[in-house]
Amino acid sequence: MKIKIKIQRIQQLIDHLEKGGSVVRPALRKVIGNSGLNEFNKAWKDEKLSRKNRPEEILEYARRLKKGLQLYSKAESRLFKSDHYKSRKLMEQAESVLENAVEYLRDMCGATQSLRVYLDRDPWDSIELCSEGVPRPIWSTSAYKQPCFDLKVSKQAIALEILEKHQKRLKKRLGIVEEIDFPSPVQKRKKVALSDFSDFKF
């Protein structure tokens, strides 16, 4: 396939992806070859593995959080049954456990700033010791989890980055001047994941 035609076909795939479409592997292989397809497969495999990355510090916080919220739920249940004395005692226990969990989280995030990307909010923001008032891991399915930055990169975003890279390489061979590059979604994710989050607000 001639270089100019390949550049045009790559652009067609790029346009399709930017409009929200998807591209099958045979279409990718036709324009970026087996080596390019292998690059795509490896990038997608690495992305799926990265989604399983759950730091032990955040997992430990989640365990402490769960214990505190279970006590909080029991306290509310007792209050509903008009058992005010038992409810108050359970609520005090719940708040103590939740407070210790948040303190642990802040200590861990203070030591390792990058852990903050795994939370739905800044652990140093104003926090209430109740179900809706405490930070949640970004993988939490709780209805109280706040909208937050998503570390996931889609298969389409990976394909788009690889297509753009191959297109740029082909254009360079033809001596075509490139426009200013902007970070791709994958590059943005990597940059954010390695940054100092001391001033980052969720």
Would you give the end-to-end CA distance of the chain in angstroms? 48
CA dihedral 101, 105, 111, 112 (to 10 degrees): 150
pTM of the model as a whole: 0.60
Residue 198 lies in a domain: no
Residue 181 lies in a domain: yes
Contact 101, 61 (CB under 8 A): yes
Q: Rounded mean pLDDT of 156-177?
A: 88
Residues 59 and 143 in one domain: yes
Residues 143 and 167 in one domain: no
Q: pLDDT band at 180, cuts 50/70/90?
A: very low
* Parent domain of 97: 55-149
What's the chain's average pLDDT? 86
CA dihedral 164, 168, 169, 171 (to 10 degrees): 140
Q: What is the pLDDT of residue 1?
A: 64
Q: What is the pLDDT of residue 66?
A: 96
Residues 44 and 108 in one domain: no
Q: How far is CA 96 from each of CA 67, 73, 103, 187, rounded to the nearest angstrom? A: 11, 14, 11, 41
Residues 133 and 159 in one domain: no
Separation between Cα atoms, residue 61 and residue 185, nearest integer Å: 29
List the helix and strand counts (H, then E) for the chain: 6, 0
Q: pLDDT band at 183, cuts 50/70/90?
A: low
Domain count along the chain: 2
Separation between Cα atoms, residue 169 and residue 121, nearest integer Å: 40
